[in-house]
Structure 1
Amino acid sequence: MRHLDMTAVVLDLPKIIFAAPKSSERVTFEANDFFAQESVQKADLYLSRMIFHNWGDKYYSQILQNLISALRKGSRIAINDHVIPSPGVLSPYKDWTTRVVDLVMKEYFNAKERDISVWIKLLKKADGRCEIRNVIRLEGS
């Protein structure tokens, strides 16, 4: 097995952390506000899972800038989130479904789903050094 010495810190809202199971010595849980300075400094990897699509562009930049401020040389940010295909790539039904989810995000959260060009633009706006190294779409997702 690889990375047996790896540890992780899960950062989330206090009410979520309070309810989280304390099942591993290698995983710790800390309350965090991603609109404030990042509490864990100098980690090798910051994983953001399903965060950015819940927020509009202004807040996206703020969250990302807080993560960037915690980076050290060689650190990375991994983003696990929705990347919608450009219009016309999917079948008409799947494309329609994707656009409906985008409208739901706008209505409920004042947020949106983003295609790759928007992700790139927002990353560069938050910090010109940011770049997307890889996009992986899991089959069926």
Structure 2
Amino acid sequence: MSFDRAKYERLFLEEASEYLSEMSQALLSLEKDDAFVESVDTIFRLAHSVKSMAATVGQEDIAAFSHGLEDRMQAIRTRGSLLGASELPLLFRALSQLEEMIRSVEAPGPSRPPDADLLMALESAGLDDSPIVDTGPGALAPKKMGS
């Protein structure tokens, strides 16, 4: 029995599309401060699933980027809050990047590599417990879990 890469890649694209839609809904819920814990857990779980599926079909760039998003969500879970007003836009940019990368799998030619700066930003937050303080106009207090 041989490995039908095309078949599994199609399955990956179908599943990833559903997961991206669910992640988008969870991010919108997080933005509205609805069900913080559930939204963070959902995004974490879906990023983990995309990472695993991507690795299975040899999409290492997508797996690496998804891993960065998964780690970021784990840091948010551990802290119990967003770091500040800039973290939510970063998560939306990460989701957009992930969508572009997955769409590029369907296109002929090489898949789109991740934005290295965005991946570094995802991976850099939460390395310690001190929040990033945004003191600019319109700065928001960090959102706390359960508030």
Using the size of structure 2 for normalisation, the TM-score is 0.27
Relative to its length, the structure with more helix (as a share) is 2
Higher Cα radius of gyration: 1
Using the size of structure 1 for normalisation, the TM-score is 0.27
